[in-house]
Amino acid sequence: MDLFLAGKHALITGGSKGIGRATAELLAEEGVDVTLVARDPAALAQAADAVRARRQVKVVTIAADLSREEEVLRVAAEAGAVDILVNNAGAIPPGGLGSVDNETWRKAWDLKVFGFISLCRAVYPAMAARRDGVIINVIGAAGETFPANYIAGAAGNAGLMAFTRALGKASPADGIRVVGINPGATATERMEMLLRRRARDEFGDEGRWLELCQGMAFGRPGKPEEIAAAVAFLASSRSGYTTGTILTISGG
């Protein structure tokens, strides 16, 4: 299926690994030029090489800390005209109310919650001026399931879901679509870290983390490529009547 994305430009945060990298690789296969943003220049360079190996599209990398407003504005300026914004950066630590202190909570939200919002604010006006653009927020299923042992993430994700729905409700007036994706457990480095912690707590042995995957739908976590495929479709004109909604990909 031709998604009619060739020649578009996508800005992807958290683009050096996991879902962000898989999204960049898939969009490149569709002929999309990509700008990848993450904190680690070496990881970005490695990801850029992997993207170019898929197809010779233009790949630009920007090393930045999106928890800082001035860095968000720099990224938006350096990226230039953006047709597709994929907000994906951010990792909120696990823990209950008593174990996540204020500093940790605020720092995590500065990147994941306010980072998403700030980059939307920075990119949106130019999209509105062209009356064309798609914003896809890769959020997380904890915003629907509300795990108490991931309280900062659950609350942050729920807030981003509301933000996505509210902005997506208004954005058609500017010719823009705004949608969200809530991945469930997905086979990334972060998922392994979280499962290792859970295995340590439950079994006393973090090496048994793979046992925790057995009860998942289909007996496995999702693949980053499966999330990336949804991003590509939602970004395309094939999904041109979709806005203000959240797609959950959790195996049911």
Q: How many residues does the chain have?
A: 252
pLDDT at residue 209, as a whole number: 87
To the query of whether residue 150 is one of the catalytic residues in this protein, the response is yes
Q: What secondary structure, in 3-state letters, does the chain show?
A: CCCCCCCCEEEEECCCCHHHHHHHHHHHHCCCEEEEEECCHHHHHHHHHHHHHHCCCCEEEEECCCCCHHHHHHHHHHHCCCCEEEECCCCCCCECCCCCCHHHHHHHHHHHHHHHHHHHHHHHHHHHHHCCEEEEEECCCHHHHCCCCEHHHHHHHHHHHHHHHHHHHHHHHHCEEEEEEEECCECCHHHHHHHHHHHHHHHCCHHHHHHHHCCCHHHCCECHHHHHHHHHHHHCHHHCCCCCCEEEECCC
Say if 217 falls within a structural domain. Answer: no
pLDDT at residue 237, as a whole number: 97
Distance CA 58, CA 139 (A): 27
Which residues span the domain enclosing 71? Answer: 9-186+222-249
Say if 212 falls within a structural domain. Answer: no
Say if 139 falls within a structural domain. Answer: yes
Regions of the chain short of the pLDDT cut 50: none
Catalytic residue among 124, 150, 163, 209: 150
8 Å CB contact between 51 and 36: yes
Say if 2 falls within a structural domain. Answer: no
Q: How many domains does the chain have?
A: 1
Say if 68 falls within a structural domain. Answer: yes
pTM exceeds cut of 0.75: yes
Q: What is the CATH number of the domain that holds 170?
A: 3.40.50.720
Distance CA 77, CA 58 (A): 17
Say if 209 falls within a structural domain. Answer: no
Say if 79 falls within a structural domain. Answer: yes
